[in-house]
Amino acid sequence: MLRAGLSMKLCHDYQKQPPVMFFKVMTKRQKELKENRVILFIVLFCSFASDHCRENMSTQKTVKLVTTHVLYEMKLKGEKISMLTAYDYSMAKILDEAGVDVILVGDSASNVMAGFETTLPITLENMIYHAASVVRGVKRALVVVDLPFGTYQGNSREALASAIRIMKETGASAVKLEGGREITESIERILSAGIPVMGHLGLTPQSIHKFGTYVVRAREPEEARKLKDDARIIEKSGCFAIVLEKIPASLAGEVAESVKVPVIGIGAGPMVDGQVLVLHDMLGINTEFSPRFLRRYHNLHEEIMGAVQRYIADVRSLDFPNEKEQY
């Protein structure tokens, strides 16, 4: 359009002007054309740059690093928090790429990775090994590590030393402790070093020998009142979030309403701020553990079993490796 408009203008000018003036007019029109081209280039470039920036900003928003503050904002906005356990690099990398908000390096590794009946046998060194492996596979999610049994109860100085080791040797983002009023000194001492703490109330597996059973906790009014008091106490002590395990859904909802920090449930109903499951349970790797609150999203036990059996059959029949699978 610019070129056609200029040609018509030049013909009109030639009829009105002598040859010398015509060339002056043509030179002026060529200059205008050049300027128009420059302006068009700038407009197109700015449009491209703007689109690129928007796409880049969208990507940055998608891969936004999850922090304790982000979880707090999610609660304020009513956005539910997703949390799963992981104990190794490969699984952690998959969970992070899938978009899970929080990865818990749980002391449940004692059960699903080491085969112990309870979480009590796992050591601080074991937890550091698992947590360091997880952190190497994570770019976005908040990584929280359980302090194992015997590393914080009754001794706040030992609690701080244990938390510092985890943070220094793994690169994790926070630690998790089980208990209420009785561990506030440990919580506060850990926080004094700038280490974020997640609390855990309700069924606390490290106290299994005290309870004697894994049944639903806080059904009785007295225990329910204590749980609500403990939630407020550990929030006041500085916990950035609280896990509620295996308690009545209505009670969990009351707790979530009564505190400002995010409340994440496992077997605590839908009225909390997020949910957590043990990865090996929800993927169906473990088939022996089937509590009411567990939803299995896959049956990896069956799939892995079938794949291994096919591999064994292929090896024995000389079907593997074939010509394409050798050098």
Report the pLDDT value the prediction gives residue 255, as an integer from 0 to 100: 98
Q: Which of 73, 169, 188, 245 is catalytic?
A: 245
Residues 258 and 227: beta-carbon distance below 8 Å: no
Question: Is 158 a catalytic site residue?
Answer: no
Predicted model pTM: 0.81
Q: In the structure encoding, which two tokens stand for residue 232, read together? A: 């407020």
- If pLDDT is split at 50, 70 and 90, which confidence band does 7 have? very low
Alpha-carbon Rg for the chain, nearest whole angstrom, is 31
120-169 pLDDT, tens digit each: 999 999 999 999 999 999 999 999 999 999 999 999 999 999 999 999 99
Kindly provide the residue ranges of all beta strands, DSSP E only, lying in the chain, ordered along the sequence: 81-85, 102-105, 142-146, 174-176, 197-202, 241-245, 263-266, 274-277
- If pLDDT is split at 50, 70 and 90, which confidence band does 326 have? very high
Return the higher-pLDDT residue of 101 and 58: 101
Rounded to an integer, what distance in angstroms lies between the CA atom of residue 157 and that of residue 154? 9
46-85 pLDDT, tens digit each: 555 445 544 444 333 455 899 999 999 999 999 999 999 9
- Residue 202: count of CB within 10 angstroms of its CB: 26
Mean pLDDT, range 261-269, rounded to an integer:
98
Least Cα distance to 245 among 195, 210, 188, 291 occurs for 291
Q: In the structure encoding, which two tokens stand for residue 253, read together? A: 């909802």
Region of 212 on the Ramachandran plot (φ > 0 left; ψ -120 to 50 alpha; else beta) = left
Mean pLDDT, range 188-207, rounded to an integer:
97
Residues 244 and 262: beta-carbon distance below 8 Å: no
- Residue 45: count of CB within 10 angstroms of its CB: 10
Report the pLDDT value the prediction gives residue 32, as an integer from 0 to 100: 57
Mean pLDDT, range 219-245, rounded to an integer:
98
